[in-house]
Chains A and B, each alone.
Chain A
Amino acid sequence: MLADNGAPLTWNLARDVTQLFEFHFMVNAFRAGTAVAVVAAAVGWFMVLRRQTFAGHTLGIVAFPGASAAIWLGLSATVGFFGFCIATALVIAALPRTTGSGSSSEEAALIGTVQAFALASGFLFVSLYGGFLNGLTSVLFGSFLGITDAQVLTLVAVAVGAVAVLAAVRRPLLFSSVDPDVASARGVPSRVLSTMFLVVLGAAVAEASQITGALLVFALLVVPAASAQVITARPGVSFLLATVFGLVITWAGLACAYYSPYPVGFWTTTIAFATYIAARVGAAAVPRFARASA
């Protein structure tokens, strides 16, 4: 994005990396990206395990009207991201859950309509605010420019909080994610855990939206965890791998966006897609490894 006015890419890798951190906004982008990558990978790992990717998708969609409503009202986009995502997480938690894949076609129509309406509302706020067309692209598809110190602080604080909550409830959460019925029978408060997890998920989606944009949160939320769970079934190892994948996707995405004229949303999704393909191909090519570690 800065290839025109920034320093060009050279063959000297050490020099390139130093150059990346010459500008304060780039340092902030890496700080924010790191916090987001860690929390998204951690929360995403449980989300994939709990088969709630769809809830994550819905939360990502409401992030857009959230951010645009906040900007329209003169608040910061950060407030809108967190407020809308967490409020929607509570709504989803309060709704009766239909289990399994037995949901009817009518429900799919309803879900599609609700999502389209949420996006339409976001567009309404953008139009009412006016003069925000370029900002629209960064809310939807991400941007790493102009992240302030205060925003970095918020992102890191929320990330630490979310990871701390996950760490505190990791054992019962894992138990109730893998086998909710047995966990409930053993006295694990599944419903409370589920609500708590959805709120943490809302916070993670709000964090990821601010780097990847509302429409591309899957790149940081789902792909690291899904790739790691393809490679190994051992919870501890795949959890660590997911975090590593998340960091690699974010860092490489930011670096590529810095040195190329193409946007960060394109780079993170492409690197994420490549990571997932590589994990699938790798796991298929080396089945013994996957089985041995399972």
Chain B
Amino acid sequence: MSAYMQHALVAGTAIAAACGLVGYFVVLRSQVFSTDALSHVAFSGSLAALAAGIDPRVGLFGGSIIVAVAIGTLGDRGRPDDVVIGTVFTWILGLGVLFLSIYTSAHGADNGAANVNVLFGSIFGLNRSEAVLAAVVGVGLCIAVLGIARPLLFASVDEAVAAARGLPVRALGIAFLALVGVGAAEATQAVGALLLVGLVAAPAGAAHRLTGRPWIGLALSAAIAVGSMWSGLLVSYVFGSIPASFSIMAVATAVFAITHVPRRRALVSR
């Protein structure tokens, strides 16, 4: 097995497990749309850091976590409608394009590559230290999510009762969104900013359809995510022309689709 595949497996396993765990709560708490919002920030944050000449991961993690905490802090008061969200996040993408052009004009030669890596991930492009760091952050994220899993479950299922029992519901919500920010940044390194919602939502959505029991669901979500990651990486390793982010998403989507076979549900309208 070549070195790049080993790096991809090490980083990918930890990232997928973390995304599966975070995703389970994201779906449980109906925060898929917040994750979608974070993907725009992940894109523009990475490119802003590149344009400023620093490691893109600084902008990626910094931007995602800050905006996640901001969403958590502001989120309760009046949900903004689709038009406002769409307008703001389209503009954030526009800013990303600006940073991209600043970066490319400064580094003439490697034109589209940076853009592609941020948008669609570059899991086969990780070097040893990047892979180890991504894996360490992924494992840390898993531990953090499992650490707050019990109170978070309680607060997610019945917020009022949890608050009455003295649980710091609001702080838990904000802490969880910060973890979602970390998860979004991790997923961006694997499948890219445009596809991270899929890696967070598909395994979790499948797990929620398969079981209503929370602990089994959590484990199932992580297992489906890791399984999608492994089979996707394997497919792309064997068939070099198929990008890894596509194979990973294709497996995850297929698993989610299979859970829908018996009952059909509406696709449109949020």
Contacts and interface: CB of A to CB of B under 8 A. Distances in A.
Given A97-B266, A222-B87, A269 B197 contact: no
Interface string B79-92: 00011001110110
Contacts of A133: 111-113, 115-116
Interface in B151-191: 191
Contact of B268 (A55, A116, A121, A263): A55
B196 to A, nearest CB: 8
Given A53-B86, A106-B27, A106-B209, A127 B201 contact: no
A51 B86 CA distance: 12
Interface stretch (B64-72, B127-135, B248-256): B248-256
A140 B95 contact: no
B50 interface: no
Given A133-B111, A263-B98, A92 B195 contact: no
Interface in B4-62: 27-30, 32-33, 35-36
B246 A226 contact: no
A149 B33 CA distance: 40
A120 B269 CA distance: 22
A113 B252 contact: yes
Interface residues on B, range: 35 or more
Interface residues of A, number: 60
B100 interface: yes
A273 B87 contact: yes
B205 interface: yes
B1 interface: no
A128 interface: yes
Given A95-B266, A120-B246, A115 B111 contact: no
Interface of A: 48, 51, 53-55, 57-58, 92, 95-99, 101, 103, 105-117, 119-121, 123-124, 127-128, 133-134, 136-137, 140-141, 215-216, 218-219, 222-223, 226, 261-263, 265-270, 272-273, 276
- Which 6 residue pairs are nearest across A and B when measured between Cβ atoms? A116-B198, A269-B94, A133-B112, A109-B205, A105-B30, A108-B32
Interface of B: 27-30, 32-33, 35-36, 82-83, 86-88, 90-91, 93-95, 97-98, 100-102, 105, 111-113, 115-116, 119-120, 191-192, 194-202, 204-205, 208-209, 241-243, 245-246, 249-250, 252-253, 256, 260, 265-270
